[in-house]
Structure 1
Amino acid sequence: MIDSAFTLAEAQHEIETLLRTTPISNQPAIVLEWNREALDVFVHCANTLVFGSPGVPVLPTWMKAEPPHVTIESITLDTAEYLAKRGGANFGRVMIVPDSVSAYSNMFGATVKIESHPFVQVCAKSLPKGKYLGAIAVVEDKSRLPLQLGYLSADPKCPYHPVFGGGRNGRLVR
C-alpha cells in the first residue's frame, strides 16, 4: 500500500507500523502529501515540452522519465528518491526518514533545488494560483499515534513559483 500511496491517509496504518517497529534516527520523518489535480496539470505541461525548442530548459538530472513519458507516478517517486539520496530512506513516495541532522537539512535544501530548477518552473507556471504539487509535513513525535503532522508553508516572498507548500490552509499545523 505504501508504494502506491500519494497521501498519508492512504498509507497511515502502514507508516505508523513502520515507525513503531523500525529503528530510525531521532530526526523527524518527512511526509509528502501529493496533490493529484496539480500533478495532472504539471505532468500534462511537462509532456508537451519539446527539448531543443526555444525556452525549453533541460530536464532535471533527478527525473528519470523524459517527456512525453512523464507520469504522476514517475515524478512523485523520482522526487522522493532524490530527496532520500541526501541521507536517508524513502518509503514509497510519501515518507522519507533522514538518518542525521545534516541529511534532514540537506533534504530541505534539495526541495529548493527542485523548485527552482528551470524545467520545474516552466511546468509550475501552469499550476493554478495557490496550488502546489504537494505539501511537506514533518512527523514531530514518532511515538505519538495517530501521527501528528506539522505542515510547512510556502514562503510568500519566494522569487519563483513554489511547488511544495499549502498543507492545511497554508500554515504550520501542530
Structure 2
Amino acid sequence: MGKVIYWMNTSIDGYLEGPDGGMDFMEPDDDFRQAANDHVRQISAFLFGRRLFEAMEKPWTEDLGKEGAPAVEREFAQLYKETPRYVFSDTLQTVPEGVTLVRRKDAASVVTRLKQEIDGTLQLGGAELAASLLDLIDEFWVYALPVIIGGGKPYLPVREALRLRLVEHRSFASGTMFRRYVRR
C-alpha cells in the first residue's frame, strides 16, 4: 500500500508564496537541492494542484534540464520527467504526455485508488489540494528556507488542529531545515 506525503517548501514563518503570489524568496542552495533529489528518488508519483503543476512542469521538462544547467538541477529534471505526474484541475483541458489530468471532484477517489495500487510514495503538492485531501495524507514534509516573508499562502490552509509527531529533522549549512511529521 502506498503512502501520501505532502511536501512543500516554505519560508520559516510557514508561507509557500508571498503576499503577491510570488515564490522568488525560494533560492535553495546546492545542499538542499541534493537532498531534494535524494527524496525524489523515493517518489512513485507526483500529485499536483494546477498552480504548482504549472510552476513545475515547463521549467523541469524544458528549461532546467538542459545542458549548461547545474548538474544537480539536470539530475532533478531527469528524475522529475521519469516520475508519473497527476494534475488535479477543473480548468486545464490538456496536459503533456506523461501527465494524467484528474478533475477535482474525482481527487479523493483517484488518490485512494493510487494508494491501493502503488506500493510507494505519492508526493502531494499544492496547499488547496492538500487541504481537500487532508484525511489521505500520511506524512507532512517541510523544507523551511531561512527567510521570513510576513504573509502569503500558508503551508496548509486548514481550520482545524491536526496533531503530528516529528519523526525526522535535518539542518543544512545553508540554514534550510527539513522536518518530517506523521499523524499522532
- The TM-score, its normalising length taken from structure 2, stands at 0.28
Larger proportion of strand: 2
Q: Which has the higher contact order (CA 8 A, sep 6+)?
A: 2
